[in-house]
Amino acid sequence: MIDFTPFILSFKLAFIVTLILLFIGIPYAWYLSNTKSKIKPFLETITALPIVLPPSVLGFYLLVFLSPDSFLGGVVYKLFHLKLVFSFPGLVVASSIYSFPFMIQPIQSGFDTLNKNIIEASYLSGKSRLTTLFKVILPNIKSSLLTAIVITFAHTIGEFGVVLMVGGSIPGKTEVASVAIYDYVENLDYHSAHIYSAILLIISFLVLFFVYFINHNQRKRYDLY
């Protein structure tokens, strides 16, 4: 019998991370898309950094900065009694940082290509900024939002190095599916590794196919780009 706990952990982690990043991502990407500030290239670099940084580097720094002995980790521990290393909340923080660019970049490019006149047309229709955001802006970058959400979700499920370093592969707590495969291979249990790998492969394929399929149809219908 296969133990599905690592998959449930993976999905739980991906779901929470995606939700958090969506809330941060929309205003942050909006700011990046509209700002003329000189710090924009700097912010964009920071945002994209997790894409090029080896996961072990990021994992190492997160271990250092999130441990209860460090300033940040210490404050969180004192305030909330929350340990941010070798724990699930720690995984959420680490994954949110690691998956950050995958949420921001599609949304930002969606905002960049949006015809700004339709925003003004909405104001001239007497609509507030909030109504404009929900009725005009977000629906017209729907395919970018969908891409951002699904890719972030999939990327969080697929990550390995950072979760291994920050989470430490504790079964039932921080041992997500990708890490479990590594553990099986290390224990020469190829049978389980095969099953887990096949499941992840199929899920990844389906997730990506879903994004491309929906986006293809969306564009045909609304001609959003």
Partner 1 sequence: MIYINVRKKLSGVIENMELEFKLNIKKGEFLAIIGESGSGKTTLLRIIAGLEKSEGEIIVDKEIWQNEKIFLPPQKREIGFVFQDFALFPNMNVLENLLYVKNDKDLANHLLKISGIENLKNRYPNTLSGGQKQRVALARALMRKPKILLLDEPFSALDEKRREDLQDRLYFFHKEFDLTTIMVSHSSSEVYKLADNLVELNYGKIKRYGNAKKLLINSKTSEKFTIRGKLIDIIKADIINIAVVSVGNNIIECVISQNEAKNLKIGDNVILSTKAFHPNIRVINENIIS
Q: 106 and 144 in contact (C-beta within 8 Å)? A: yes
Which residue number, 10 or 144, has a Cβ lying nearer to partner 1? Answer: 144
Query: Which of 136, 185, 199, 214 forms a contact with partner 1 (CB under 8 A)?
Result: 136
Shortest distance, CB of residue 129 to partner 1, whole angstroms? 9
Which residue number, 83 or 142, has a Cβ lying nearer to partner 1? Answer: 142
Say how many residues touch partner 1, by CB under 8 A.
21
Tally of CA atoms within 13 A in the half-sphere of 58 that contains its CB: 25
Residue at 111: amino acid letter: F
Residue at 1: amino acid letter: M
3-state helix, strand, coil in the chain (%, to 5): 80, 0, 20
Q: 176 and 164 in contact (C-beta within 8 Å)? A: no
Binding of partner 1 at residue 41 (CB under 8 A)? no
Binding of partner 1 at residue 222 (CB under 8 A)? yes
Binding of partner 1 at residue 34 (CB under 8 A)? no
Which residue number, 96 or 122, has a Cβ lying nearer to partner 1? Answer: 122
Owner of token pair 């504790």: 170
Query: Which of 126, 130, 186, 188 forms a contact with partner 1 (CB under 8 A)?
Result: 126
Binding of partner 1 at residue 78 (CB under 8 A)? no
Binding of partner 1 at residue 37 (CB under 8 A)? no
Please tell me the distance from the alpha carbon of residue 139 to that of residue 87, in angstroms, as a whole number: 37
Query: Which of 123, 134, 210, 212 forms a contact with partner 1 (CB under 8 A)?
Result: 123
Binding of partner 1 at residue 152 (CB under 8 A)? no
Please tell me the distance from the alpha carbon of residue 169 to that of residue 174, in angstroms, as a whole number: 5
**What letter does residue 171 receive in the DSSP assignment?**
T
Please tell me the distance from the alpha carbon of residue 98 to that of residue 151, in angstroms, as a whole number: 13
Which residue number, 84 or 145, has a Cβ lying nearer to partner 1? Answer: 145
Binding of partner 1 at residue 36 (CB under 8 A)? no
Shortest distance, CB of residue 110 to partner 1, whole angstroms? 13
Please tell me the distance from the alpha carbon of residue 202 to that of residue 193, in angstroms, as a whole number: 14
Q: Note the residues at the interface with partner 1 (CB under 8 A).
A: 115, 117-118, 120-128, 135-136, 139-140, 142, 221-224
